[in-house]
Amino acid sequence: MDKLSTNQIAWRAAQDIADGAYVNLGIGFPEKVAQYQPPGREAIFHTENGILNFGESPAPGEEDWDLINAGKKAVTLKPGSAFFHHADSFAMVRGGHLDVAILGAYEVAENGDLANWSTGPKGVPAVGGAMDLVHGAKRVAVIMDHVAKDGRPKLVQRCSLPLTGVGCVTRIYTSLAVIDVEGGRFVLREKPPALSFEALQAATGAELLLSGPVADLIAPEL
């Protein structure tokens, strides 16, 4: 099976994070990216609720619930961390001081539009910091399954769900591909070697362009 697991998608996204990068990981799935930093590279993680340079979760029972990330999970501190209030935290976000934000998505459109906060008018809406992150970080990447659970494409021509941001996504890491958004189009960068371009295109709701070589998308067992 050539489909990447969620761990493997997170691993692949982590490979593109430079040493010394300031990174914000969205709540849930994107948090996994922190586990796969390549050896010798150190990213500094930012969380909206006011911590820079936090580390892994503490052992169960060791949690300090005043020391949490934006997903309300307990974290620990690394040497050289800092606390700050929410306005300073979002000054970091909005002011372009984060190198990368990695978010989950319901849909990403070929023009870079992102829908990841609302599945429609039903239920209680909740947006958190996603709309701030997508217009702040120098690079906004998405990690997600290539298709929805019901098989519908999540990579689309135009988002059908309420937007989080307009033209903000530049790279998408999925279970089947690495895709860049360039000039309002999806450009395929990587795919699993055993997956044909045609099969990948069939699972994608907008045209995939080829521009330069397509590398093999291969992740270790995780």
Partner 1 sequence: MDKRVADLAAAVAGIEDGMTVMIGGFGGAGSPIELIHALIDRFRATGSPRNLTVVNNNAGNGHVGLAALIEAGMVRKLICSFPRSADPVVFTELYLAGKIELELVPQGTLAERIRAGGAGIPAFYTPTSYGTDLAKGKPVEEFEGRPYVRERWLKADAALIKAETADPQGNLTYRAAARNFNPLMCMAAKETIVQASRILPPGGIDPETVVTPGLFVRKIVEVPHPRQEEDLNRAGAVYPLEA
From residue 26, how far is each of 11, 198, 216 by CA, in Å?
15, 31, 26
Size of the site for partner 1 (CB under 8 A): 58
Q: What is the rounded CA–CA span in Å between residue 170 and residue 141?
A: 6
Binding pattern to partner 1, positions 171-190, x when CB under 8 A? --------------------
The CA-CA-CA angle for residues 80, 84, 87, to 5°, reads 145
Least distance in angstroms from the C-beta of 149 to partner 1: 20
Least distance in angstroms from the C-beta of 165 to partner 1: 7
31 is a site residue for partner 1 (CB under 8 A): no
The CA-CA-CA angle for residues 138, 100, 3, to 5°, reads 130
Catalytic, 48? Answer: yes
Judged by beta carbon, residue 127 or residue 148, the one nearer partner 1 is 127
Q: Which residues bind partner 1 (CB under 8 A)?
A: 20, 22, 42, 44, 46-53, 64-68, 72, 77, 79-98, 113, 118, 123-132, 135-136, 162-166
Catalytic residues: 48
